[in-house]
Amino acid sequence: MKRHSISYRRQSPGGSGRTIPRAASPGSVRATLALNGMGSFEWDLDAEAFILDAGGLAVMGLRAGEYDGRTRTLGRRILPDDLPGLEAAIGRALASHPSYGGYFRVRHPDGTVRWTHVQGRILRDASGRARRVVGIVRDASEELQHFAEQTALRVDRQRQADVVQGLTYALSQALSVEDVTMAVTSEETRRRIGATAIALGIVEQGHTRVVGAAGLPEGLVRDMSVSRLNAATPFAEAVRSRTPRFLSRHELRDRYPRMWPYLKATAFTRAAILPLVAQAQPNGALAIAFQDRPGFTSGERNLLLALSSTIAQSLQRSVLYDHEHELAVGLQHAMLPARIPDCLGARIAVRYRPSQRGREIGGDWYDVISLAANRIGIVVGDVEGHDVHAAAIMGQLRIVLRAYAAEGHSPSTVIARVSAFLRDLDTERFATCIYADLDTATGNASIVRAGHLGPLVRRADGTCGRPPVPGGPPLGLLDNADTSPYPTVPLQMRPWDMLLLCTDGLVEFHGMDLDEGVQQLETVVLDGPSSLEDLADHIIDTIEARSELLDDAALLLAELGSPGQGLTGRLPNC
């Protein structure tokens, strides 16, 4: 801002010296401006005089008797950080613009700093030269304060939206209670909401149980892990009252003295204890602790309440999911053989793993059937679908296959009759299976395949291969015109050879074709331990670790022992 003296005269464009009359503001207008924290000014650029009315003087923190009309005096009121920018804006406007405006800060005599806004209109002569500026100055502190508050509110709302969106996305991927717990107590969730510690509890049979915690003392989590609903604990009280509590450090100490020995060594300053309520029923509680927080704003409380509502709904779904999953797995195991019969001359190991998708029940099964004269029948099958109907069909097929095999029919006849049985059930479901009749004394095996995966054999010399077994159609699709739809293939087993039968759940994965899956299984078998039971565990565990099991998987291993040696199987280790 250029320094000017205080006289005021304006020359006409022709330099005649004619005085240009000023436009005087009515007193009532000036009074109105002053009442609204505003004032007017006139700046004679030729005379270097900057005249402020009473309202303008008040805005600049000046009294009439102490202002000399110089811009230098005004400049001393403006904060040094703001003055260069204001002078630059005015200089640009005087050079080529019709007006200017801007915000700057003014320090008043009492030491307070007020935001001020100036708006000036530049008057020019006929040649375009700037001669005079008229304008308004006003106190903008309240305006900018409101703007700052609105900006902070928008930022806070955006942060809240980001927090809710992030957790909602994590919970959308969660199926089980364990999944929900991991999402809620993760480091990412704590970082998003600025929390130091989080604990999640669920309601079970008249108790609250802590299912996950992060950032809390281990002793506290251990001692408070389970409590009755009538206990004086944060989770129990939240569930009983269904009322959120926002507590200070002192309130935590006074309200829960049993917890204080664990908490007094922490730096927690505030905690939120939130009930988790879904469909009008409390299903758990959430505790969130913070450091260096003097209190909770209304926005922070609303955010935590929104999070608790989202978590409550996810927790409700996950509890139901876990219950249904447990029921499905229990039903599936109930339909599988309770024990594997003793097998003279052979060792048997079986495994079943449900789909990691959870509550769906599958139609996978295995069975070992005692036949006459040192012979056993071994079978693995899979019914189409993942529901109770598939499991029911699986149970029926297992029964009829055992019955036909026990009658002494050939493997081809057994499978043909089972296929006809399924067709006559008048169901749209089909099934696949592979059946082997193994003589444990001679090692001769006869194998039949009905739309199922072929067998895998690990020889005693350490080699592994897939013997060709031409297959017939899946069970239930047999045409009456087919006289021999299921060819029997002979296979010679030698002592300590191992035969593997399984369902496609062990070889079919997203992004991997069937041949790749079978090759993976073959590699796992070759690299596995020699013990049959250890090998069964190794196969399941390795494939589960490499690829998520998206379908049920049944596995049966049969190892031929030395002639005449009695080897027994054991119960499935599932």
Question: Which token pair is 499?
Answer: 């035969």
| Mean of the per-residue pLDDT values of the chain | 82
248-295 pLDDT, tens per residue?
999 989 999 989 998 888 889 999 999 999 888 899 999 999 998 888
Q: Average pLDDT per run of 10 along the chain, which is 574 residues long?
A: 38 42 52 73 91 90 86 89 91 92 90 90 92 91 71 58 70 83 89 89 91 91 89 91 92 90 89 91 92 84 86 87 72 68 82 67 84 89 80 86 91 92 85 94 93 92 90 82 78 93 85 82 90 92 73 88 48 36
CATH topology of domain 337-567: Phosphatase 2c; domain 1 (3.60.40)
Fold of 27-139: Beta-Lactamase (3.30.450)
Q: What is the pLDDT of residue 190?
A: 87
- For residue 6, what pLDDT is reported? 33
Domains of the chain, by residue range, sit at 27-139, 157-328, 337-567
Is the pTM higher than 0.85? The answer reads no
The CATH H-level superfamily of 157-328 is GAF domain (3.30.450.40)
Give the pLDDT of residue 288: 93
Predicted local distance difference test score (pLDDT) of residue 133: 94
Q: How far apart are the first and last CA of the chain?
A: 85
Residue 351 CB coordination number (10 Å): 21
Q: Which residues pair with 449 in a beta bridge?
A: 434
What are the tens digits of pLDDT across the range 86-118?
999 999 999 999 999 988 989 998 888 888 999
Q: What's the pLDDT at 239?
A: 92
The label of the residue with tokens 């003014």 reads 106
Beta-bridge partner residues of 349 = 557
- Topology alike, domains 27-139 and 337-567: no
Q: For the sheet containing 456-458, what is the strand order?
A: 346-353, 553-560, 498-502, 456-458, 464-465
> CA of 366: how far to CAs of 149, 207, 381, 399, 432, in Å?
68, 40, 6, 12, 12
CB 142 within 8 A of CB 114: no
